[in-house]
Amino acid sequence: METLTVLLIVVYAVDILLLFLFGVHCYVMVGLYQRNKKYCLSDGEKEPLDLSVANLRDVPTVTIQLPIFNEYYVVDRLLEGVAQIQWPKKRLEIQVLDDSTDDTRDKAARLVAEYRRRGFDIVHLHRTNREGHKAGALKAGLDRAKGEYVAIFDADFVPNPEFLIRTIPYFDDPQIGMVQTRWGHINADYSILTKAQSMGIDGHFMIEQVARNCNQLWMNFNGTGGVWRKECIYEAGNWQGDTLTEDFDLSYRAELAGWRFRYFMDVENPAELPGTIAAFKSQQFRWCKGSIQTAVKLIPRILKADFNWKIKAEALVHLLNYSVHPLMILNMLVTLPLLLIDGWSVYSMADAGIFALFAVAAFMSVGTFGPMIFYVVSQRELYPDWKQRMIWLPVLMMIGTGIAVSNTRAWIEAVIGVQSSFKRTPKLRIESKTDNLADRDRYRLPFDPLSAVEIGMGFYCLTCVYYSLAFGLWMLTPFMTIYGLGFLYVGFGSIREALLNARAPRRSERLVRAA
């Protein structure tokens, strides 16, 4: 019994220490952000390109790639947005990289034909094998691209009309290989889920990306809303489909090759946030697994590379950031045995040193507030009503915890090398509170059996709350309560969505019966 106790204490202590370090990293990001944030303003060094006076011969050709896969609801919105981008038509090529297996293919073909009649240089490239998934589509399109620069937008985006005139001038520096811009939100006010997601994304794009870029640390292309120098892509080894985050992978390979990136927080491209828990979990699973796959692939190269220790250290933390989720799960699982292992009284627990252990853990939980400060600062920088928006911060903490089971599975699969297909996040064109998810029934995701585990983890955490209060260990209750509510929200929410999907026949089936 003593051996088990010692083992649990060691595991818990190491786990808390690692979580503390990840939390402190958030404070570091906020500090770095404040140091030189003006570097990430697009008008800080260069003025936007004035097309009214520019000589057409001096305007470079840009290819815009639009990778889509079964995007029936949003492909028209995407093309409408791209058509508004300010750039001479004679210097703009648009590639619709279509891997669709449904009637999105026919819809995209019709739209492309219409825009071609309007004078756009636009092509519809449809693949049937889906080899390499999104990375394969981008690579196939790149081989045919006319532009020396390649911009990429996913189907859920509406490009900023000034996107090119504010980013292309920075490629005058021959060392710049990619320019990334900030994601905005089309439907942040749709639900509490989208409100919380918007805060999470704001934290990354307003704090993390700025902190890294303005301090000459490595940052990543976010898969969309950015533009690449074609030469950089080729020199870095081109798009590769061996991870689920081909954007992260290519970014670090390019930076390992010596290329530099720029990021601009004042160029915003709004995107649609996942409107369902199932879609959100699917997106986060892919991001988590892909990040860890990229870490497994590139960390050995990073450690051997000839870069300073600050760049390497930040790169390692960046690549391993999703390790927070398995560490959280481990923390929860070990807490209850430690509460019960030495009896049922405060005296016996204190005598065994367990009370002291939890007290130290509570003190180190100051690192837990790092992400909270991180998100508060991002909201303060972006929104005049940021104080009112803080009411959604607990919801962000809850859903961030609630997806820990799913993301832990993704983390484990990445570490042991389990391969999985690229699962797209459904884009349903949910733009306002009046839009009804029931009317968007084409791309329903299957029920996730892990929802039962999430509910079990929720009640497990609440059990920890009960015993921590019974033993006078009140310092554990705030965190375990948030953890428990987060798991229950995600677990029961997933079941609710599955039941609604099962009860509502597909719209197409209803129309057939009506006919």
> What average pLDDT does the chain have?
91
Q: How far apart are CA 457 and CA 462, in angstroms?
A: 9
CA distances from 249 to 168, 259, 296, 494, 497 (A): 23, 14, 11, 31, 33
Which one has a higher pLDDT value, 233 or 129? 233
Least confident of 41-50, 201-210, 229-238, 436-445: 436-445
Nearest to 31 by CA among 324, 374, 375: 374
C-beta of residue 264 within 8 angstroms of C-beta of residue 182: yes
pTM above 0.85, yes or no: yes
pLDDT band at 427 (very low <50, low <70, confident <90, very high): confident
- Structure confidence at residue 515 (pLDDT): 43
- Structure confidence at residue 7 (pLDDT): 87
Q: Is the predicted pLDDT of residue 483 greater than 70, yes or no?
A: yes
116 CB-near residues (< 8 Å, 6+ apart): 122
For residue range 103-159, what is the model confidence (pLDDT) as tens digits?
Answer: 999 999 999 999 999 999 999 999 999 899 999 999 999 999 999 999 999 999 999
Q: Is the predicted pLDDT of residue 194 greater than 90, yes or no?
A: yes
Identify the residue whose tokens are 């509570």.
362
Which one has a higher pLDDT value, 369 or 191? 191
For residue range 239-253, what is the model confidence (pLDDT) as tens digits?
Answer: 999 999 999 999 999
Here the tokens at position 221 are: 């292309």
What would the DSSP string read from start to end of 67-135?
A: EESS-TTTHHHHHHHHHTS-S-GGGEEEEEEE--SSTHHHHHHHHHHHHHHTT-EEEEEE-SS-TTHHH
Q: Is the predicted pLDDT of residue 346 greater than 70, yes or no?
A: no
Question: Where in the sequence numbering do the catalytic residues fall?
Answer: 99, 247
Which one has a higher pLDDT value, 309 or 344? 309
pLDDT band at 511 (very low <50, low <70, confident <90, very high): very low
CA distances from 152 to 233, 261, 343, 374 (A): 13, 15, 59, 28
Here the tokens at position 291 are: 């990040």
- Structure confidence at residue 463 (pLDDT): 96
Q: How far apart are CA 399 and CA 378, in angstroms?
A: 18
Q: Is the predicted pLDDT of residue 174 greater than 60, yes or no?
A: yes
